[in-house]
């Protein structure tokens, strides 16, 4: 704590001398000035915590002097030592908040000392509160800063993680896609089949007002739906003629094999059932496989993929026949709506075909699922 300094201002030298004498034994440094301007000079050089002034002085009134002190040294405790004749002025000054306390002349020694002590205490308390406020404000700033940094770091890490996940998932999808393409490419008749099925299916899904998340699922499931054909002998896949029963039984294993390939991958877990059930029939009949699920038991993406798959297969050349016209697809969809196909999917697909005709199945369409979901 700084040295305690009190400054007395009075134009009567006797009073100043008496005060010096009175306070000799106190632990305070006592300064005096016989003129308010001199007092202001002293205060600029020597910080005082308490100022005590007379009211009636030739150069400047005590109230005016104290209001200058207030302007220039806001923290200084201001008091008045005044005779009864100037009481009203002094009381007025107290009421206006200009003065901390009033001491009357002639003063009582003990009272004067006690009042000064209180004034110093008051000053110290005020400056301590101010200091603590500053400290806590600074700490708050520091805390806010730390929080901001922390938030920033967390955000940054989350972003990096999300990016890594995105990269991983992109890399994986690319691998799987390459796999699907490789399978399609085993037989030049089915080249691009998976991609086209994925595109048709996504567009049907969007026409059915499915949620974006589900449309994306339809797309990836579409890309991967035949991935299990990797486990089917090439001779069956590329057979340039219709399959016999035995071969057909073999090919019926591909949804299950595909599901098994995808199963270990956490972020493809929603796609697995879509792949597993893309050859179920809507009516749950024996023609469907592997589990002969019916209606709502079949994942909706699978029901959509089945329609897209049929449409793609029919409109592509096969070793044993040329591509069929769209009318044949329309007939097929009508014929098997409710048995093989989900009528709602058929309805959406027919609406799209009606709107878009041949362009719906145009080859080599540029398709970006993320742009598609935004559009």
Which positions ≥6 away from 215 have C-beta within 8 Å? 202, 205, 206, 372, 373
Based on CB atoms, which residue is closest to Fe ion, 226 or 280?
Answer: 226
Instruction: Decide: helix, strand or coil at residue 263.
Output: coil
Beta carbons within 10 angstroms of residue 321's beta carbon: 10
Give every CB contact of residue 308 below 8 A, 6+ residues apart in sequence.
Answer: 196, 197, 198, 200, 201, 204, 222, 349
Q: How many residues touch Fe ion (CB under 5 A)?
A: 2
Find the part of the chain contacting Fe ion (CB under 5 A) among 141-149, 219-227, 285-293, 324-332: 219-227
- Catalytic residue check, 164: no
Mark the segment that binds Fe ion (CB under 5 A) among 19-27, 40-48, 223-231, 322-330.
223-231
Residue closer to Fe ion, measured from CB, 11 or 256: 256
C-beta of 290: minimal distance to Fe ion in Å? 11
Q: Contact, 361 vs 326, CB < 8 A?
A: yes
Nearer to Fe ion, 280 or 309 (CB): 309
Min dist. Cβ of residue 326 to Fe ion (A):
19
Residue 279 Cβ vs Fe ion, minimum distance, rounded to whole Å = 6
Residues facing residue 79 across a β-bridge? 52, 101
Residue 294 CB, nearest approach to Fe ion (Å) = 19
Rounded to a whole number of angstroms, the minimum distance from the CB of residue 265 to Fe ion is 19
Subset of residues 46 to 75 that bind Fe ion, contact rule: CB under 5 A = none
Interface stretch with Fe ion, choices 26-34, 66-74, 258-266, 305-313 (CB under 5 A) = 305-313
- Asked whether 312 and 194 are in contact (CB, 8 A), the reply is no
Backbone angles phi, psi at 220, to 5 degrees: -70, -40
Check 126, 229, 253, 374 and give the catalytic one: 229
226 makes contact with Fe ion (CB under 5 A): yes
> For the chain, how are helix, strand and coil distributed in percent, rounded to 5?
65, 10, 30
**Nearest residue (CB) to Fe ion, 259 versus 348:** 259
The burial class, CB within 10 Å (0-12 / 13-18 / 19+), for 217 is: buried
302 vs 337, beta carbon nearer Fe ion: 302
Residue 35 gets which letter from DSSP? Answer: S
Of the candidate spans 25-33, 280-288, 304-312, 359-367, the one that interacts with Fe ion by CB under 5 A turns out to be 304-312
Four-point Cα dihedral 78, 84, 90, 91, nearest 10:
120
Residue with Cβ nearer Fe ion (94 or 257): 257
Closest CB 254 distance from Fe ion, rounded Å? 6
- Pick the stretch among 76-84, 153-161, 218-226, 237-245 that binds Fe ion (CB under 5 A): 218-226
- With the C-alpha atoms ordered 56, 60, 63, 65, is the resulting torsion angle positive or negative? negative
Q: How many CA atoms are closer than 13 Å to the CA of 256, on its beta-carbon side?
A: 11
Residues 164-183 that bind Fe ion (CB under 5 A): none
Site residues for Fe ion, 306-345, by CB under 5 A, read 309
Q: Which residues in this chain contact Fe ion in the complex, by CB under 5 A?
A: 226, 309
Give catalytic residues, as residue numbers.
Answer: 229
């Amino acid at each position: 704590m700084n040295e305690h300094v009190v400054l007395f201002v009075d134009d009567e030298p006797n009073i100043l001398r008496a005060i010096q004498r009175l306070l000799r034994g106190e632990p305070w440094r006592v300064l005096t000035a016989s003129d308010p301007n001199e007092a202001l000079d002293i205060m600029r050089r020597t910080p005082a915590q308490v100022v005590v002034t007379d009211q009636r002085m030739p150069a400047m009134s005590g109230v005016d002097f104290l209001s200058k002190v207030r302007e220039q040294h806001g923290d200084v405790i201001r008091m008045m030592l005044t005779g009864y004749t100037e009481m009203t002025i002094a009381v007025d000054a107290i009421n206006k908040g200009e003065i901390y306390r009033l001491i009357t002349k002639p003063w009582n020694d003990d009272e004067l000392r006690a009042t000064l002590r209180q004034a110093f205490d008051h000053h110290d308390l005020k400056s301590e509160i101010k200091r603590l406020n500053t400290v806590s404000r600074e700490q708050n700033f520091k805390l806010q800063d730390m929080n901001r940094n922390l938030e920033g770091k967390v955000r940054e890490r989350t972003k990096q993680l999300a990016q890594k996940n995105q990269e991983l998932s992109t890399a994986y999808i690319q691998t799987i896609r390459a796999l699907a393409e490789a399978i399609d490419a085993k037989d030049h008749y089915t080249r691009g089949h998976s991609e086209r099925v994925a595109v048709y299916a996504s567009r049907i899904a969007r026409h059915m007002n499915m949620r974006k998340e589900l449309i994306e699922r339809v797309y990836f499931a579409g890309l991967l739906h035949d991935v299990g054909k990797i486990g089917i002998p090439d001779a069956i896949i590329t057979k340039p003629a219709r399959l016999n029963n035995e071969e057909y039984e073999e090919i019926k294993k591909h949804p299950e094999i595909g599901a098994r390939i995808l199963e270990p991958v956490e972020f493809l877990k929603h796609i697995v059932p879509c792949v597993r059930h893309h050859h179920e029939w809507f009516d749950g009949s024996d023609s469907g496989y592997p589990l002969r699920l019916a209606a709502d038991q079949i994942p909706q993406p699978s029901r959509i993929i089945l329609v897209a798959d049929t449409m793609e297969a029919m409109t592509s050349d096969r070793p044993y026949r040329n591509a069929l016209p769209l009318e044949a697809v329309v007939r097929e969809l009508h014929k098997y709506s409710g048995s093989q196909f989900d009528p709602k999917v058929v309805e959406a697909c027919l609406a799209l075909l009606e709107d878009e005709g041949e362009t719906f199945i145009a080859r080599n369409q540029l398709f970006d699922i993320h742009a598609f979901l935004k559009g």
